[in-house]
A and B are shown apart, each in its own frame.
Chain A
Amino acid sequence: MAKTEMNWAAIDADPRFQALHRKKTKFLWTLMTISMVYYFLLPIGTAYYSDLFKIKVWGSVNVGLVFALSQFIVAWAIAWIYAQRANSEFDPMAQAIINDAHNIK
């Protein structure tokens, strides 16, 4: 790609970029917060709610094991949700800006 001068400030101020920025920021940090809260429930739970973690739910399978395994499901789900949204929404929005970038002054 030939490196021509871009007016970065103008692109940043463009309503299409601002829309992308708002949507992406909100979505990303929401997912980030959910995943961090859910993850830290594990060390906090094992440390302070070990009685809860010991309750058997399926044969000798206890709440703690189910919760630990659910961490994998939640991590995969967040990755999948993010990839879907990024592919279907953020990428086309970014592409529209890229295509028009030279004309934004």
Chain B
Amino acid sequence: MEGLKLKLDDLQRVAEHEVDFQRAYKYRINVCCSSGCVPFGALKVLKAFEDAVKEFGVDKECKVARTGCIGTCSVGPAVLIEPGDYLYQSVTPEKVREIVRDHIVLGLPVKDMLYKNQAYFQKQHRLVLRNAGKIDPSRIEDYISAGGYSALAKCLATMTSQGVIYEVRTSGLRGRGGAGFSTGQKWGLVARAQNFPKYIVANLDEGDPGVFANRTLAEADPHAIIEGMLIAAYAVGAQKGYIYIRSEYPLAIQTLQKAIAQAKAMSLLGDNILEMSFKFDLELRFGAGAFVAGEETAILASVEGQRAMPRPRPPYPANSGLWKKPTLIQNVETLANIPLIVQNGGLWFTKIGTSKCTGTKCFSLTGQINNPGLIEVPMGISLREVVFDIGGGVPDGRKFKAVLVGGPSGGCLPDTLLELPIDYDSLTKVGAIMGSGGIVVLDDQSCMVDTAKFFTEFCVDESCGKCTPCRAGLARIKEIFDGITQGTGKMDDIATLEKSGVFIRDASLCGLGQTAPNPVLTTLRYFKDEYLEHIVEKKCKAGKCFKNEKEA
């Protein structure tokens, strides 16, 4: 199939051909080979399945596929057998023969090894991750047979660029990178700019520690990102795009490189896409270990080969972005929503989530929780549902203490806020942010002062140094934390933290500085007693602080 220059009508044929090809198999064994499962031996499991189906002579009716993340990262390697969506957990090469023998040959799923926690999936709503764990990301045909690139074909054949923007605006989709700006509005701005060429930058610089949603998406369904970019390019009139990806994600990089090469070979990228007069080129750009580079204007500096220092806005990138040309910057999760919106219409999308926050959001659920993993939930779901119903609560009989929403510059929220619906506005109100979708659960062994200090240290290290509040201010806050956690805290410190936190939030140049004080301000707001305990009694109930004194 590769090397074939696709025309508009061919797409349907490729899909049908592929579906027929796959139907020839009675079973499909999807082995998760994402960065989460590979360190647990997923590649050996994959090999074992390939060997075992041959050994039992069922290789003609069994397709063994190497897929992206299935979502149950805590019990990897995970294997999904279709039909029936039988999910096996913690599969080892030794168990593979038994699974093939019983499940495939005898038709009896091995109950002991099945993933039992059905609630984990029940409350999820998988749009962005629609293909994750289901298709082989290294085969473009798999994506096409799942309906891939048909949204692009629809755009090119039947829609004007304004029409596409109209649907996106109708959908109410908001940027998934954190700030939550209306995607349709952004596209309108870039489309209206009369300055050429225009660019698109897809942000895959997932710098938030504890967050791996974008990586998973790129590893599991790279073409969804590419198709989203193509549609965006068509809508705003861009001919060149960059995917800016962290260099710490080697597997995601390989997957995307392969996907781009396949798309080029099939004339889904390049000149005359699908034999239409639409042109779009795509290149990868690699980050190099700077959290701030995920900031909208810093990413531009980085793509241009400079220090990733944010630029003041205005001018907005929509008018003056890459090389001062109109540039659309969009998180990859936002882009992966686009094909669905085009295919099903903007109105369809508004039925998911809440009226102000439509659609779904991917979260990396980690920390002291029974079922860590990558989840996708409708907007408006409560924190309690995420932490307890999907996440299964806190392990080892310990008590839930706080949940950190939004990465290192998110907020630490106490149990009294567990009923809070997850959407941009509700989170902002309580001092947290959507961020790039990190949810870290802390149990009663965690010290909130220590946690706030950890995040402040992170932001001190990652501050670009351009503006005074973020550079000089955060470093002072960190020193105050050093004092409090080492036993030299003063009562004044609390007021100083509060005052400087508010100042840094209001006066910093970019999103990093503006949100960096969130962990400090929210812990002060919801867990002030712990600060007092540290300062007055020089005690840390969780036993995290005052280590130096103890050892001395």
Q: Note whether A and B form a binding pair.
A: no
